[in-house]
Amino acid sequence: MTITKEYDKFDDKYEYSTESHVVSKFDAFYGIINGVFAYVSSDEFETGWLILSRVGENWMWLNDSRCVLLAENLRVVHTDDLSNSEVFDGGNVYEQVAIKLEPDQCLALAAAPELPEAKIHGQVLTFPRELQDQIVQVMEMVAADKKS
């Protein structure tokens, strides 16, 4: 399992990211949903992101990208539009939702004893253990970097 950590010298910030993990597999119409956790840290701000993406035969999130993220002591409701979308050759579509998280919400997500869940477009998704483990690793790296 690989966590990436990059320093952006122009913006003076560190960017951490997990690998992409399959969160749920559906039929070809709905597609496969992948999840990535990212964290950006600088002296001026800190922000986490849970990014869900899918490739399928039809638009599903374009008009309904509302997503509810649940973990113990955490409930985040995302109501923004898609953060990215495109149509591929052959007609398949790509949709992405980026759920912004405050630092305390990221810590709650990492500390959750049960696997986090999300509901988007009527589909309930349970995160795989590997993604949860990597969220913990990212938050541990952030804490260690702040101490040094």
**CA atoms lying within 13 Å on the CB side of residue 141:** 20
Per-residue pLDDT of the chain (148 residues; tens, 9 = 90+): 689 999 999 999 999 999 999 998 776 667 889 999 999 998 889 999 999 999 888 888 888 888 999 998 899 999 888 888 899 888 889 999 999 999 999 999 999 999 999 998 888 889 999 999 999 999 999 999 887 7
pLDDT at position 88 is 87
CA distance 103 to 39: 9
CA distance 24 to 28: 12
Show Cβ contacts of residue 59 under 8 Å, excluding neighbours closer than 6 positions.
Answer: 85, 93, 95
pLDDT at position 58 is 84
User: Can you read off the two tokens belonging to residue 103?
Assistant: 């630092």
pLDDT at position 90 is 82
Residue 24, SS3 per DSSP: strand
Number of domains in the chain: 1
pLDDT at position 29 is 64
pLDDT at position 43 is 86
What residue type is assigned to position 64 of the chain? D
pLDDT at position 59 is 86
pLDDT at position 70 is 93
pLDDT at position 27 is 66
* 8 A C-beta contact, residue 108 and residue 72: yes
Domain boundaries, position 27: 4-147
